């Protein structure tokens, strides 16, 4: 967010609708919990993302690739290298440049 200040209007039942930028910044999805801290003295609300179970949250993150995934990636790289090699073998051989010949620099 370029400017973090946003003005929100309370709904008829006192609800607030957070803008998409705020949801994205807090990494929130519909149905997830938030922590609301009220600072009545300064008349400020603090909103934080709340994680009920940190282990469950960690499981959502992308895991390291397994052995089968690594093998599959290696097969794809091998196939691409083979394709490139075969394509280069089909291309005509370029004649050597004069400066590439051993007797050019004598």
Domain residues of the chain, as ranges? Answer: 20-50
pLDDT higher than threshold 80 for residue 82 = yes
Residue 80 confidence (pLDDT): 96
pLDDT tens digits, one per residue of 26-78? 788 888 888 888 888 888 888 787 777 777 766 776 677 788 888 999 999 99
Contact between residue 20 and residue 31 where contact means Cβ atoms under 8 Å apart: no
Name residue, tokens 């280069």.
Answer: 88
Name residue, tokens 């895991």.
Answer: 63
């Amino acid at each position: 967010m370029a400017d973090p200040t946003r003005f929100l209007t309370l709904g008829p039942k006192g609800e607030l609708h957070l803008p998409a930028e705020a949801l994205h910044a807090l990494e929130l999805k519909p149905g997830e919990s938030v922590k609301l801290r009220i600072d009545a003295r300064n008349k400020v609300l603090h909103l934080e993302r709340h994680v009920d179970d940190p282990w469950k949250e960690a499981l959502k993150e992308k895991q390291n690739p397994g052995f089968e995934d690594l093998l599959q990636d290696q097969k794809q790289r091998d196939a691409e290298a083979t394709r490139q090699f075969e394509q280069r073998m089909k291309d005509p051989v370029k004649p050597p440049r004069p400066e590439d010949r051993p007797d050019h620099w004598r």
